[in-house]
Chain A
Amino acid sequence: MYKNNNNSNGSNSANGGVNENLKKMVEITIAKATAFIKEFYYPLYDTERLEVLNLYKDPSISIWNGTECQGLEKIRNLLSEIPKSSHTIETFDCQPVQSFPNILPEDIDNPNILITVTGKVLYGTVSTHNFHQTFLLVKDPSNPQSLFISYDCIRLTS
């Protein structure tokens, strides 16, 4: 459905050679990812850390620099263990994650979302690092219009 985009960087047609369905899905994905990053995850993480728990569900996993925490209880422990933080976001990106193989029609209005974020993080008062964090946001079966964190995976890269 989203194929036939042969003029890959197409700029001749009025919409820039972009498939309308894809464009719509990108628009929705970006709006949700932006809100997640700027209004929820990082502001909460840096100020009211445990509120972040509301963004996970029980099967969720959080992987902190090679250590996995599965389930709300373990994620809560992890969140409590990490000292006060201050994140500065430098880049972020997101992609709709589609079902595979491509049999079912895509849920254009509410796709799952892959998010990657990079930036700087200060833990406590002296420990500054670069970080890279990956999130997969997936549909909440009990409330199909909302998403929750299926997993997040963070690495300090300096």
Chain B
Amino acid sequence: MSGRGGRIIKKRGGRGGGGGGRAQSNPNRNRFNVFVNRSNNNNNHVDDSYQRICISNLPSTTDRNDLMDFLKNKAYKPMLNFKGSEYKNSRFYFSVEKPEDIPSLVSLSGVRYGGVKVFIAKEDKSSFSQNRVVQNTAPRANNRKIESMKQQQFTSNKQMKLLEDHIDTNYTKSTVPELVDFSYLYTTKEIDFNDLKTIRQLFRLVSEKCKKATTISFTHNSITSLSPFKAMMTHSLDNIINFNFDSNKIANLSELDNLLDLSLRELVFTNNPITNIPNYRMEVARKFPDLQYLDGKEITAEDFPPSPIPPLRSNFCDSAERQQFAYKFLEKYFTAFDKNRSDIITAYFDNSKFSITYTQDGSSNPTRGSTKTYQRFNRNLKKQADIVKKTQLLFDGYDQIYNFFKLYPTTSHYLASSVIDTFLAPGSQYLNVVIHGHYLETVFKTKRSFDRVFILAPAQAGSEAAKNGWEAVILNEQLHVRPYVRFPRLEQQNGAIAAAPAVPDAQTQETLAQQLSIVTSLKPEFAKECLANNQWDLNTALENFKSLKEQNQIPPTCFN
């Protein structure tokens, strides 16, 4: 059975996959049309009888007449006449009657109009096709800045258009709706795939236009950095599970960290320097626990050489009963934390202690979103700080703790995919719960990993906690927040204690029994019994059933 979405389709011959036949038709034509229509000129050639100046940094709502008067006065040119105006691409274009007036207007560049610094340049029509909007009249720093600014803007608009056209011609009409192919667009259309803006636009277009796509191909595009690909998080592109980066220039394993937010099925990095890194396959497989194929080869046990360290196992507990107790507490706690945070206040008491530490990844913007909050309250004791500060950052009692959580971003935790260790500290009645997991900041759409330690005591009868349905009260809690990274692959616990996960509710039991009954033809009641004997794990139950059946140990009366 093949999983979600097809495999990456192998490179097609030559440039057919990407370049497309119309690459060299004039990509700027649509830009000119706006202009041409306005000047009632039906030629495709630009032939406006007036030269124009271009004014940037003002909103479209600006009063044009007032702006024109202002410029006339500032330039000391009472005889100066404007012949029409246009607002396009966030800029005003004013046609100037006499070309000799233009230099004095351009020299006003940098003047404040209504408190806003405006930039003025002469429009150079002939340079459109060369990607240069403005030709400098004087080599002033300002003008150079404008030029590069405009060039960027222009390039970005142009790329947007190219990408859109590309999708329309190559994807929309394609017979393979699973594949979006952007191969060769760097060489044929100069699209820069290392540019954040480009990739953002690209993913926006993909999320709008390629809803059935599961595979994106970026082969032959001179990609060196994958950091723009982080932008995928802001679009819901969970359907994209295969990426083809064949024949690019990706050289560092750390570049792959930009894709960690994704659940990937297949990756291709053939003909990239990265494949020469020692242990390349192992490192990639380790980073992406869901990955099934790398460079067209299935990931197998061979890709994981014997590890020098003892096996990593899943959830530890010293007693199944306490584990249940802890899970129940966490379930209630994180549901409240995500949905109705003020409810957590009663899980703390007068002397509860809480503190937070934080590690940042290189690329995150420290002034943006929640990062600021984490940083401000980061109690990392490795760093120097005076004792008053260190004491203040140890939140003491439910008031202080809840006041902190009011500042904490809104979250959505994924408890089911967490790793949770539960145990008593030797010789005490305190239950220690260490949980490693991740959450989504629902506003900023940022995923974070966290490690959170709770020391719990049973809630006293009649206490505030007990009255609010908490079976335990939090004595100590330490939270560590870090960039989202997938947890390493774990071996399943074996042994009697560990193999006692939560017993599913009645409805889940019914569903499981039904499934087992269908596969095995066992009567439902025997299917249920079989599951109950195998800790409600469908796979274990099925395996044991098979081996018992082979040994003819199941009486025929058990079957339908």
Say whether, besides A68-B316, A118-B451, A151-B432, A95 and B478 are in contact (CB < 8 Å).
yes
Say whether, besides A3-B350, A27-B387, A66 and B485 are in contact (CB < 8 Å).
no
Give A129 to B279 CA distance when docked, in angstroms.
Answer: 15
Q: Are B396 and A136 in contact (CB under 8 A)?
A: no
- The minimal Cβ–Cβ distance linking B298 to chain A, given in whole angstroms, is 23
| B212 contacts chain A at the CB level, 8 A cutoff | no
Query: Closest residue to A58 on the B side, CB-wise?
Result: B426
Q: Are B387 and A26 in contact (CB under 8 A)?
A: yes
User: Given A26-B390, A158-B487, list of 19 further CB < 8 A pairs?
Assistant: A15-B388, A19-B391, A26-B391, A27-B387, A30-B381, A30-B390, A63-B421, A66-B313, A91-B480, A93-B381, A94-B381, A95-B476, A100-B349, A100-B473, A100-B475, A123-B308, A136-B432, A138-B428, A155-B421
For window 124-158 of A, CB contacts with B under 8 Å fall at 124, 126-127, 129-130, 132, 134, 136, 138, 150-151, 153, 155-158
Say whether, besides A93-B379, A93-B380, A9 and B392 are in contact (CB < 8 Å).
yes
Give A79 to B146 CA distance when docked, in angstroms.
Answer: 64
**Partner pick for A93 among B432, B478, B487, CB 8 A cutoff:** B478
Q: Are A114 and B426 in contact (CB under 8 A)?
A: no
Q: Are B312 and A66 in contact (CB under 8 A)?
A: yes
* Contact count band on A: 35 or more
**Partner pick for B455 among A18, A61, A97, CB 8 A cutoff:** A97
Give A136 to B476 CA distance when docked, in angstroms.
Answer: 11
| B504 contacts chain A at the CB level, 8 A cutoff | no
For window 441-456 of B, CB contacts with A under 8 Å fall at 449, 451, 453, 455
Q: Are A60 and B426 in contact (CB under 8 A)?
A: yes
Q: Are B358 and A91 in contact (CB under 8 A)?
A: yes
Q: Are B391 and A116 in contact (CB under 8 A)?
A: no
Residues of chain B lying within 8 A (CB to CB) of residue A67 = 310-311, 313, 316
- The minimal Cβ–Cβ distance linking B83 to chain A, given in whole angstroms, is 62
Q: Are B355 and A156 in contact (CB under 8 A)?
A: no
Looking at B397, B419, B473, the one whose CB has the most chain A CB atoms below 10 A away is B397
- The minimal Cβ–Cβ distance linking B545 to chain A, given in whole angstroms, is 28
- Enumerate 29 A-B pairs (CB-CB under 8 Å) in ascending A order: A2-B397, A5-B399, A8-B399, A16-B388, A22-B396, A23-B391, A61-B426, A63-B423, A65-B311, A65-B313, A66-B490, A68-B316, A90-B382, A91-B480, A93-B357, A93-B381, A97-B455, A97-B476, A98-B353, A100-B351, A100-B457, A114-B476, A116-B478, A130-B482, A134-B453, A153-B421, A157-B487, A158-B485, A158-B486
Give A22 to B393 CA distance when docked, in angstroms.
Answer: 12
Say whether, besides A2-B396, A18-B391, A150 and B427 are in contact (CB < 8 Å).
yes
Residues of chain B lying within 8 A (CB to CB) of residue A12 = none
Chain B interfacial positions (CB closer than 8 Å to A): 278-279, 307-316, 318, 349-351, 353, 355, 357-359, 378-382, 387-392, 394-397, 399-400, 403, 419, 421, 423, 425-428, 430, 432, 434, 436, 449, 451, 453, 455, 457, 460, 473, 475-476, 478, 480, 482, 485-488, 490, 493
Query: Closest residue to A18 on the B side, CB-wise?
Result: B391
Q: Are B488 and A129 in contact (CB under 8 A)?
A: yes
Q: Are A153 and B426 in contact (CB under 8 A)?
A: no
- The minimal Cβ–Cβ distance linking A24 to chain B, given in whole angstroms, is 9
Residues of chain B lying within 8 A (CB to CB) of residue A22 = 391, 394, 396
Q: Are B392 and A102 in contact (CB under 8 A)?
A: no
Give A98 to B419 CA distance when docked, in angstroms.
Answer: 27
Give A72 to B370 CA distance when docked, in angstroms.
Answer: 44
Q: Are A19 and B396 in contact (CB under 8 A)?
A: yes
Residues of chain B lying within 8 A (CB to CB) of residue A81 = 310
- The minimal Cβ–Cβ distance linking A2 to chain B, given in whole angstroms, is 6
Looking at A95, A98, A118, A134, the one whose CB has the most chain B CB atoms below 10 A away is A95
Q: Are B425 and A136 in contact (CB under 8 A)?
A: yes
Query: Closest residue to B451 on the A side, CB-wise?
Result: A132
Give A75 to B332 CA distance when docked, in angstroms.
Answer: 35
- The minimal Cβ–Cβ distance linking B478 to chain A, given in whole angstroms, is 5
Residues of chain B lying within 8 A (CB to CB) of residue A41 = none
Residues of chain B lying within 8 A (CB to CB) of residue A2 = 351, 396-397
Query: Closest residue to A65 on the B side, CB-wise?
Result: B312
Residues of chain A lying within 8 A (CB to CB) of residue B427 = 59, 150
